[in-house]
Chain A
């Protein structure tokens, strides 16, 4: 292994060491120390990648790639996991959670660099298995139900994925993405199965059933991992498949567009009448997956940039909203949010701004993401998809608006405890990122353009 190859893989090594260290510290040290070791690993891994910005891609063989999107995916997974770690509330016996969280980050990092069926499958399984444990973490009835649902459906999705890969292999004889192609019936069927397996992890309709349950029952930071970290890693894999593999066309692009369009419409429709904040976020995350899928399906030259841009803008908004949700205790509903502005101004502002960004209204980053999405679709003259996006976002205004005004009306009193310093810091970072991306997007735009540059 050359030095360059080692440098490219070292973030994964650091993460793995951190996961092991966090696990070993469980019986020895207090929770804070366990968390600190996990945080150190995540921070170090992100720093290693950032130090290599500008370095040429290391030649890695077929399994792993070291291109721009992979590096973006690793940094993204580490930073968002670090954010999730901040509001990870663990009960007494469950000090293993930080270790599991780092495992999710490893899965996401592997997935982001995957250029081969083996790493694809490996990444997805590491992700899913750690998520199942995190979902079940509270040991409540709903938590167990969510974990069980995810376990069964995840198993199904993995088998579909494996069978799909096998069928494609049967025809093309290749397992790396670059070798995939061809037009035969086997590849077409295999591609459909592959798409179904990925759609499950990406929570696209009709493979979305686990998402709202997980958001409702699991701890908010586990929902962040499922909704942001794992999803962005899958998005990057799908993007790489779209860019490097030549999968049979009517199935791949149009299948992705169909799944994406359905997710935009159905996700938004289901969110419409949800009175419960985490569940609403769960449905809205389905819709956002749909938007990302539509960007990739458009196949236009700027699609790659648009995906990364969308992910970067979506992350602080989701992180902020879920952190507030965690701060308010179990599954806050609309009436629980009333009068929040008076009791807890920082949380109220962070929540409203996050939802504003998710709704795609200006001054928040979401507006620019919406612009990018529309531009990509209009570049490709995909007017039907534009129509779907407009219909979906219009529905989105309904439920986001209900939630982002709730903190400013009415009164309720509050029994929950004040927010710890770290959470406050995280919320301030989220607010700052949302506003900066919304008001001065040029910087992020340059970053994603440089990332996607060959």
Chain B
């Protein structure tokens, strides 16, 4: 029941925020309270959870004649992702405090509903319920971009919706095909994992699933929707997109590919690694050429998600662990950078690296925050990103040294774009001329939390790895 409450709570909170909006900041506080309650509930579930891998596991019938049931289960990976969802939700409210002034009620409702749907994705083990939440998160996220974005926001939002919704058909078709092959109609991943399918069939099914996951991960060549969506979305939208929505793709791949299609995954693994390596290099190189700070960070997301893909495809312990850590590390670093760039944009009305600079003299807090997260971007030892990327590279060395060298070279590229970002913003002559206000507490606290998170995971990765270990082991041994 608690797992369903975790989904219903933000869904309901969204309605409350929608209806109390008006004078004052009620809808903002309602939204923050909703996410805070979610965190409390999550901690309660984890603390009182049963022994073994699953903290909690429930199953209720939804459409019995179709074999669809509400199969929810939570292990360390789901719990981490849900904590991330709620935390980023609070941060999004803080980041949008002064940016969003029109239709604030609907904005916060969309925020809540995006989080509710992603929590559904992280908990569902029934493939159709998974697909339901998978597509459900597109609608509020689409609204976030289309209504409160900048520039050609509707075009960007449409591109986001269409790429992802069309890719969702792959997931749906493969789910139906899987259910049709089962001896009785069921969509439960636990039951479908018991089936013994031939390798070619597994490859086809995996390709169907992967279509959805790759587009969400935005691995080239499926990335075309991402730069615009990230650049034109409001700050909170960018935070949720980079920190949460991209992760649903990684999560799906991590969770379902080894569980349902072990042989298929092994068969396509070399292609997955190659695609990941190409994507990481491509994303990194294109990021180096960007002048728009937000666009630069958007392209680094492509690179980092490609590294996650490499890790999952490699399928060895180090690489899987690295991929899982990188998912969380990237959420922190990318969300923090989007928040910082958004805050800077509110003050200067530009994101052009050539028109900015000298933050170390005008706004030291900004400069320190940028310095921290740029070092996370280039995976400096001591940051969570280092742990993730290093583990992936070590894992890939065990599989194929050529790809490992390619993966290493992406780390070199990351140094270029991270220093370029750092140089453009922090160093040099103070630009623009009138000195700008430093960060307010509302901007500062989220950064502090994410910075501490990045450093804790970077310096003491075991804290996170212990939580993720059961899920990693399950993916490694290919058991449900």
Q: Which of A397, A405, A445, A449 contacts B165 (CB 8 A)?
A: A397
Residues of B near A405 (CB, < 8 A) are 142-143, 146-147, 154, 157
One of A126-134, A274-282, A372-380 contacting the partner? A372-380
Residues of A near B135 (CB, < 8 A) are 361-362, 367
Bound state CA distance, A362 and B117, in angstroms? 10
Binary B-proximity of A423-454 (CB < 8 A = 1, otherwise 0): 00000000000000000111001100100000
One of A68-76, A171-179, A186-194, A386-394 contacting the partner? A386-394
Is B405 in contact with chain A by the CB < 8 A criterion?
Answer: no
Report yes or no: A398 in contact with B147, Cβ–Cβ below 8 A: no
Is B269 in contact with chain A by the CB < 8 A criterion?
Answer: no
Q: Which of A362, A378, A398, A442 has the most chain B CB atoms closer than 10 A to its own CB?
A: A362
Report yes or no: A408 in contact with B136, Cβ–Cβ below 8 A: no
Report yes or no: B132 in contact with A367, Cβ–Cβ below 8 A: yes
Of all chain B residues, which has the CB nearest A399? Answer: B158
A347-388 interface (Cβ within 8 A of B): 356, 361-363, 367-368, 371, 374-375, 378-379, 386
Is B241 in contact with chain A by the CB < 8 A criterion?
Answer: no
Report yes or no: B147 in contact with A409, Cβ–Cβ below 8 A: yes
Report yes or no: B106 in contact with A449, Cβ–Cβ below 8 A: no
Bound state CA distance, A243 and B106, in angstroms? 47
Residues of B near A398 (CB, < 8 A) are 158, 162
Binary A-proximity of B125-167 (CB < 8 A = 1, otherwise 0): 0001000110110110011001100000010011001100110
Q: Which of A341, A390, A442 contacts B61 (CB 8 A)?
A: A442
Q: A408-B106, A409-B146, A446-B65 are in contact. Are A361 and B136 (CB under 8 A)?
A: yes
Residues of A near B162 (CB, < 8 A) are 394, 397-398, 401
Is B172 in contact with chain A by the CB < 8 A criterion?
Answer: yes
Is A183 in contact with chain B by the CB < 8 A criterion?
Answer: no
Is B66 in contact with chain A by the CB < 8 A criterion?
Answer: yes
Q: A402-B154, A405-B147, A408-B106 are in contact. Are A375 and B65 (CB under 8 A)?
A: no
Bound state CA distance, A362 and B141, in angstroms? 13
Q: Which of A361, A390, A394, A442 contacts B63 (CB 8 A)?
A: A442
Q: Which of B63, B133, B158 contacts A441 (CB 8 A)?
A: B63
Bound state CA distance, A398 and B147, in angstroms? 16
Q: A374-B172, A390-B166, A390-B169 are in contact. Are A363 and B139 (CB under 8 A)?
A: yes
Residues of B near A446 (CB, < 8 A) are 65
Interface size class on chain B is 20 to 34
Q: Which of A356, A361, A401, A445 has the most chain B CB atoms closer than 10 A to its own CB?
A: A401
Query: What's the nearest-Cβ distance from chain B to residue A352, in Å?
Result: 9
Report yes or no: B176 in contact with A378, Cβ–Cβ below 8 A: yes
Is B466 in contact with chain A by the CB < 8 A criterion?
Answer: no
Q: A397-B161, A409-B146 are in contact. Are A362 and B176 (CB under 8 A)?
A: no
Q: A401-B161, A402-B154, A442-B62 are in contact. Are A371 and B128 (CB under 8 A)?
A: yes
Is B177 in contact with chain A by the CB < 8 A criterion?
Answer: yes
Of all chain B residues, which has the CB nearest A391? Answer: B166
Is B180 in contact with chain A by the CB < 8 A criterion?
Answer: yes
Query: What's the nearest-Cβ distance from chain A to residue B179, in Å?
Result: 8
Q: A378-B176, A394-B165, A442-B63 are in contact. Are A362 and B142 (CB under 8 A)?
A: no
Q: Interface majority SS on A: helix, strand, loop or mixed?
A: helix
Report yes or no: A445 in contact with B106, Cβ–Cβ below 8 A: no
Binary B-proximity of A137-180 (CB < 8 A = 1, otherwise 0): 00000000000000000000000000000000000000000000
Of all chain A residues, which has the CB nearest B139? Answer: A361
Residues of B near A441 (CB, < 8 A) are 62-63
Query: What's the nearest-Cβ distance from chain B to residue A68, in Å?
Result: 16
Q: A341-B103, A394-B162, A401-B158 are in contact. Are A362 and B133 (CB under 8 A)?
A: yes
Query: What's the nearest-Cβ distance from chain A to residue B164, in Å?
Result: 10
Q: Which of A361, A362, A378, A408 contacts B180 (CB 8 A)?
A: A378
Q: Which of A375, A393, A408 contacts B176 (CB 8 A)?
A: A375
Query: What's the nearest-Cβ distance from chain B to residue A143, in Å?
Result: 33
Bound state CA distance, A40 and B361, in angstroms? 78
Residues of A near B128 (CB, < 8 A) are 371
Residues of A near B63 (CB, < 8 A) are 368, 441-442, 445
Q: Which of B157, B161, B173 contacts A374 (CB 8 A)?
A: B173
Residues of A near B147 (CB, < 8 A) are 405, 408-409
Bound state CA distance, A445 and B66, in angstroms? 9
Residues of B near A342 (CB, < 8 A) are 103
Residues of B near A341 (CB, < 8 A) are 103, 106
Of all chain B residues, which has the CB nearest A342? Answer: B103
Query: What's the nearest-Cβ distance from chain B to residue A35, in Å?
Result: 34
Query: What's the nearest-Cβ distance from chain A to residue B305, in Å?
Result: 23
Binary B-proximity of A223-252 (CB < 8 A = 1, otherwise 0): 000000000000000000000000000000
Residues of A near B166 (CB, < 8 A) are 390, 394, 397
Is B64 in contact with chain A by the CB < 8 A criterion?
Answer: yes
Of all chain B residues, which has the CB nearest A443? Answer: B63
Bound state CA distance, A394 and B135, in angstroms? 13
Report yes or no: B142 in contact with A401, Cβ–Cβ below 8 A: yes
Q: Which of B103, B165, B172 contacts A408 (CB 8 A)?
A: B103
Residues of A near B158 (CB, < 8 A) are 397-398, 401-402
Query: What's the nearest-Cβ distance from chain A to residue B132, in Å?
Result: 5
Of all chain A residues, which has the CB nearest B133? Answer: A362
Bound state CA distance, A394 and B180, in angstroms? 24
Residues of A near B143 (CB, < 8 A) are 405, 408
B173-192 interface (Cβ within 8 A of A): 173, 176-177, 180
Residues of A near B64 (CB, < 8 A) are 442
Name B residues whose Cβ lies closer than 8 Å to a Cβ of A.
61-66, 103, 106, 128, 132-133, 135-136, 138-139, 142-143, 146-147, 154, 157-158, 161-162, 165-166, 169, 172-173, 176-177, 180
The 10 nearest A-B residue pairs measured at CB: A362-B136, A378-B176, A405-B146, A394-B166, A390-B169, A408-B147, A442-B63, A362-B135, A362-B132, A397-B162
Q: List 26 A-B contacts (CB under 8 A).
A: A341-B103, A342-B103, A361-B139, A361-B165, A362-B133, A362-B136, A363-B139, A367-B135, A374-B173, A375-B66, A378-B173, A378-B177, A379-B180, A390-B166, A397-B161, A397-B165, A398-B162, A401-B158, A401-B161, A402-B158, A405-B154, A408-B103, A408-B147, A441-B62, A445-B63, A445-B66
Name A residues whose Cβ lies closer than 8 Å to a Cβ of B.
341-342, 356, 361-363, 367-368, 371, 374-375, 378-379, 386, 390, 393-394, 397-398, 401-402, 405, 408-409, 440-442, 445-446, 449
Having A401-B161, A409-B147, one finds 5 other A-B pairs with CB under 8 Å, namely: A371-B66, A394-B162, A401-B146, A405-B142, A445-B66
